[in-house]
Every structure is written in C-alpha cells, then in structure tokens.
Chain A
C-alpha cells in the first residue's frame, strides 16, 4: 500500500479515536466544576453524590484522553516529518503553549479534583475542578488555533526551502476560521456531554432509581442542551459561510456542487460521482443553498470546477460526513425542544417515552463530532496546510510496512480499549450516583468503617 495512504489512515484513526475523549471531558469538566461550586455553596449532599459519581467516569475518560493524546504529539514527528520540517516554527510554539498552559493545569489539579475531596476544603476542591475545566478549554483553544492555521493559514511566509517563518503571531493564532471553529467545537463538547448526562439520568429515572440525583442532573443537562443546540446551529451556519469565503473548494464538496452557479440548490441527498463530476439520484431544493450561504436568493456559490481536479478532496466522504453531522444536529435540537415542552407540562421526569428518546440520543453527539471533523479534515485535502503544503509532501521517510504494522496494532489496541472502557463504564453507570458515592471503593474491606461513618455524619469537611 502507498506510504502516504497508510500514514493518513493511521493519523485519521488515532486522532479520530482521541477526539472522542476530549469531546466528552471538555463538557464533563464544565459540568463537574458547576457541581463542585453548587456543593460548596449549598452543601446539599445530592450535589456531592453527583460530583463523585461523574468524577469516576471523568477519571477514566480523562485517562484515555491523556494517553491517546500523547500518541499524537509524537506521531506528528514519527509520521509527518515533512510537515514538522515545513511548519515547526508555526505549530511548534502553539503545541508548546498547549502543554505549558493546559496540560500542566489539568495535571496539577486533577489529583486534587479526583482524590482531594475531604483532604482540602470544599472551596479549594471547587477551585481545583474549575482549574481542570479551564485547562480543558485552554487545550482546545491552542489545538484549534493550530488546526485553524492549517485550514486558513496566515501570518507566516515560506522561504525558498519551503520552511515557514512567522511574521505576525497575532495573525497566526487568530486566523480567519479560528473563532468559528473554536466556538463550534467547544459547544459540540458541551452538547455531547449534556446528552450523555441526560441519557444516563433518564436510564435511572426509567428504572426508578436515584430519583433526586437523576432529576437534578437531567434538569441541568436539558437546560444546557436547550440553550446550546440552537446556538450551535447558528454558529455552524456562520462557520459554513466562513468556509465559503476561505475554503470554497471544501464548501463545494460539502454541498456536492460541481459547477459555480447563482442560486445554488440545497442537495438533500445524492450520490456524488467524481468520475462524471455530477450528482446521481439527487434530491434538491432550488436556491436554498444560496439562501443560507450567501443570504440571498440568487447568490453565487463557487463549485468544484473552479479548481483543477488534482486539488479536489474526496467529494463523497466530505458530502456524507457533512450530512451526518447536520442530521444529528437536527435530531438533538428536536430532543432538546421536546424536553423543554415536557418540562413546561411538568412531565420531564415521568415521560417514559422521552426517557427512551434521551437514552437513544446519548451517543449521537460523538458521531456528529467525528462526522464534523471528517468534513473539515477530509475537505482540506489534498492539502495538509490549505493551499500551501500538500499532504503527499508532508509524510515521513519511514517504510510503509513499519507504518502498516503500527496501524494494525493501533486498531487492535484501541478497539480492545474501547470495548473494555464501555464495559467498565457501563457497570459504573448502571450502579448510579447514590450507591457509588456511598461505596467509594467497593472491593477493599478497609473501607467499611470509613464508609459507615461518612453515611452517618453526612457531608464532612
């Protein structure tokens, strides 16, 4: 197999697997920070129970994020030496700032967040939770800054050897697509996490267990979803218009638009045929794409024909990934609105049909995030730095069979990890907040006494 393809497959697989964990932990860290502040200010034991319950899950997911992220910081060198060589002056400092600000903030406070409750005061514990949450957000900011530079590069110039030199750091960090991309990703994290919390809470309500904690968690999650889901669609629209302005080829692939036209149709579904450069079996709504992209009935939208064929991305991948993301966005919006209506009617905690709906919606955010990243990353091809550095020139001088071996091992190990994670997490989730908070660590006999005293005395400081 082609060395470039294997390297791309490996990177896509490892970064795709990695992004699942930050997506969840960015949102969950925010939720835990909120719970820790509520526990600190109100002293209601239910907040402590929820805090301990979701901390256990956070610890596992965070660990998965750390180890799979570690891989990426080295893979950029092992597999993408050409990329590192060309743009190290630009992306190197951004990654360094991520490690400096975010990783150490997380690493410094995660111990106190997970194991420090009872050792430090409630206020100090809440502070540690907020710092971990801030760390996850900072991490996202620097990584999105690096990715946005690869999508819409600015502030750096290439010399005769193809090495990029920064002329203006402000422009490098705040590129044209950065604010939209960052807002879109962070909100995606919070939405994904909201639906996971809602789904788990609905599971407990459906089984009629842990009613108080589950109601509070469901209520918080559904408020979050109700505010963020429509906002996310708005931000997504702005992000799309930004892509039209700065990466028109990617946008043309997302829309399945082969020719530049005025009054472009919205293609609901089709089979984009790259050979014939047209859509087969298309269902279209005339003028609508121009309407939402240019906000004008007959606005011009650039098609794929504007650039030579060798600069096209793989259109079907981008086209379908985009539709999966948008489709899930609509489903999640509908779920959030349904929840709000039920809440108004006082049936949010009792409607079993809604509980099933929320359980079904729980994993959808992850699929949408993967589809969204597939859209933006596959849509950038054949460039690794859009319009500047081709992916084929970015690869390392490593033998294809070595990369293939590591790819197969990554697939095996990650698949095993995911299965084990789901198994462990399912057992944790099924047991529910009240039980877990009381029995902090089940197998050890040493705990029996401590547990009993904790239950007897309630919240201790």
Chain B
C-alpha cells in the first residue's frame, strides 16, 4: 500500500460510515416523519394509507442504524466507545422509542379495538426518537468531555438548548420528508392532507436550520471559526444556498409540482444539512478530541471490513432498491397482508 493510499484510508472509511448515517437519516427519516404526521392525520383511512405506504420498507430502513453503529465500532472504535456512553440517556431513550414504534406497527395490524392506542404509540415513538437524535446531534456539535481516552463528562451533559433546537429541526425535517413521501406515494385525501402539513413542516425546518446554525456559531467558537474563515469559507457558501433554494422550491411547488418533487427537495435539504455538519466537525470522530486519523481501527480489521463492504454493499443497495420497486406506485388503504388475497396484481 502506498503512503498516499494509507493517508486516504481514514477518509474512505469515514465516507462509508457517513454514507450509512445519511442513508439511515433519509430512509428512516421519512418513515419517522409518517409517524410524526400520524398525530395530525384526522381520518382513520388516511392513517391506514400512511402506514401501508411504509409497511414493506421501514424495518429495512432501520437496519441502516444498526449498520452505522457496528461500522463505527469496526472502523472508528473511539467514536463508538466515547460517544455512546456520552449520549447514554438520549441513545437509550431513542432505542426505547424505536422499540415501541416497531412493535406498535406490528401489533396495530393484528389489533381491532386498540388501533388508536397503537397509532399513538407509533407516533409518540417517532417523535421521541427524532428528539433524542436531535440531542445527540447537538451534543456532537458542542463536543464531549474526554480524559485518558474515555468519556469523562456527566450523565446530563447532553441536555442543551442546541440539542433541543436540533431535535425540533429533525422533527420538522422528518415531517417534511414524510409529507413529501405521502405526496408522492398517496393520492386523494391523504395526498391533500400531506400537502397541507408540508407547509408547517417546511417552516419549522427552515426556522430550526437558522436557529441551529446561529446557536452553533455563538456557542462553539471552533464552529464559528470554520464558517467565518474568509476567504476559504467562500467554498462553503453553496451548501446553505442550495438548502435555501431547495426549501424555496418545495414551498412554491407543494400544490403544483410533480408528485415526487417535495420529497426530493426534502432529501436535498437533509443532504445539505449533513454537508454543513461535516464542515463544522471535520476531521473529528469525537469532536475536537479524536481525528479520523487517530481514531482509525487496525489495518487488518479495516481490510476485512472493507472487503465485505465493497463486495456486499452494492448488492444490498440493489435489492433494497428492488424491494422499493416491487412495492412502487400509489398505495391503497387496506393493502399489506391484503395484497396476498388479491390475485392478478401486476
């Protein structure tokens, strides 16, 4: 292996982990968003259609959370064993929320009299999961206390205003993705409902992106320095500009655009938000303590993982795309297991 390749190895693996996180956020983002919007959906037929639209794909989406976690352990262990204890409570509560959400989905289908309760659990789980992820995100930007190579802060260090703002931002962003997904995949009243809520979701997302950016710059000098490093910061301008453009296009085209447009714009907003995060935190795994060069796992372990990722990840992406393809098209309420009794579906 040449020296140059060796120097680029951490960047390559950081990109792979980042890719998994992005796929998780985008994919689970819209189904968490469906959960959040469930709170606002007035009619049972809408709630049925909303849940039917994510039925075949949501647990595949959640698998990316596992993939991101274990890849972090395998490639940048310090990120795993320092950050997870640091965010103990938000991560555990996110897991509780995802558990309740997951089983609520399954039990709802088998339930007759308690559907409302399971829908509330599914929605509540989605909201709590988004807020917890926000606190983790806020904590990442603020940074964690570390001594002698391990986490040395307190249990409630994660509980910050910035974290709460990130939580609200994710809540709005996921709701936007969920609404975009519904505009694309549903029709009739469900689609109209999605178009209506997309406005509020968009406003909340835009407002919180401004608040989070401002708070980060005020509270974390390193982040401010990164963004205000004239003239190098000129290179960074396109990211927030594109995010703003995406939000604007979505806003103007909620009623008139193609059905998939709002969803795509939502994805773009998240992608730009992630670029902003990378700019703020680069090149750290544990912000301002461990860089991706210091935190990299063993060469041998990386080679083993890298081989697997290179061989298998493309196949995974291909058949996950295939699963989406099989269940393409507008959803109809009452689908799901019901599909089994409708022979002759193309």
Contacts and interface: CB of A to CB of B under 8 A. Distances in A.
A118 interface: yes
A84 interface: yes
A457 B343 contact: yes
A115 B85 contact: no
B88 A84 contact: no
- Chain A binding site: helix, strand, loop or mixed by DSSP? helix
A160 interface: no
Contacts of B338: 440-441, 444, 446-447, 450
Contact of A103 (B67, B73, B85, B95): B67
Interface in A26-85: 52, 56, 59-60, 63-64, 66-71, 73-74, 76-79, 81-82, 84-85
Contacts of A460: 343-344
Contact of B316 (A56, A104, A115, A116): A104
A117 interface: yes
B151 A63 contact: no
B188 interface: no
A102 to B, nearest CB: 10
Nearest to A77: B84
B305 A93 contact: yes
B160 interface: no
Interface stretch (B54-62, B189-197, B200-208, B248-256): B54-62
A343 to B, nearest CB: 32
Interface stretch (A202-210, A228-236, A397-405): A397-405
Contacts of B96: 409, 413
Nearest to B85: A396
Contact of B301 (A79, A116, A166, A420): A166
A110 interface: yes
Contacts of B258: none
Contacts of B326: 111-112, 116, 119-120
Contacts of B67: 96, 99-100, 103-104
Given A74-B69, A88-B297, A413 B99 contact: yes
A115 B65 contact: no
Nearest to A57: B110
- Chain B binding surface, main DSSP class: helix
A99 B70 contact: yes
Interface in B45-73: 48, 55-57, 59-60, 62-63, 65-67, 69-71, 73
B341 to A, nearest CB: 4
Contact of A428 (B87, B110, B301): B110
Nearest to B118: A420
A345 interface: no
B297 A89 contact: yes
B185 to A, nearest CB: 15
Given A440-B338, A441-B337, A450-B341, A93 B88 contact: no
A124 B340 CA distance: 14
Nearest to A407: B92
A310 interface: no
B47 to A, nearest CB: 12
B150 A103 contact: no
Interface string A128-159: 00000000000000000000000000000000
Interface string A440-458: 1111101100110110010
Interface stretch (B32-40, B75-83, B261-269): B75-83
A360 interface: no
Given A89-B297, A89-B298, A409-B96, A70 B334 contact: no
B155 A402 contact: yes
B94 to A, nearest CB: 9
B106 A60 contact: yes
Contacts of B115: 443
A167 B341 CA distance: 55
Instruction: Please classify how large the interface on chain A is, using the bins under 10, 10 to 19, 20 to 34, 35 or more.
Output: 35 or more
B323 A111 contact: yes
Given A59-B106, A67-B103, A112-B326, A88 B320 contact: no
Contacts of B100: 413
Interface string A366-392: 000000000000000000000000000
A204 B114 CA distance: 27
Interface string B132-167: 000000000000000001111011000000000000
A222 to B, nearest CB: 28
A120 B98 CA distance: 30
Contact of B112 (A81, A420, A443): A443
B242 interface: no
Interface in B5-41: none
A66 B112 contact: no
B296 to A, nearest CB: 10
Contact of B102 (A63, A99, A112): A63
A264 to B, nearest CB: 41
A447 B297 contact: no
A97 interface: yes
B123 to A, nearest CB: 16
Contacts of A255: none
Given A413-B96, A424-B110, A70 B65 contact: yes
A85 B81 contact: yes
A90 B339 CA distance: 44
A78 B343 contact: no
A216 interface: no
Given A402-B155, A443-B112, A74 B95 contact: yes
29 contacts: A59-B106, A66-B62, A71-B95, A74-B95, A76-B73, A78-B88, A78-B92, A81-B84, A81-B151, A91-B73, A92-B74, A100-B308, A100-B316, A107-B60, A108-B319, A110-B59, A110-B60, A111-B327, A112-B56, A115-B56, A165-B298, A396-B85, A398-B88, A402-B88, A406-B92, A413-B100, A443-B115, A444-B338, A460-B343
Top 7 closest pairs, chain A to chain B, by CB? A460-B343, A92-B74, A77-B84, A111-B56, A88-B77, A107-B60, A84-B81
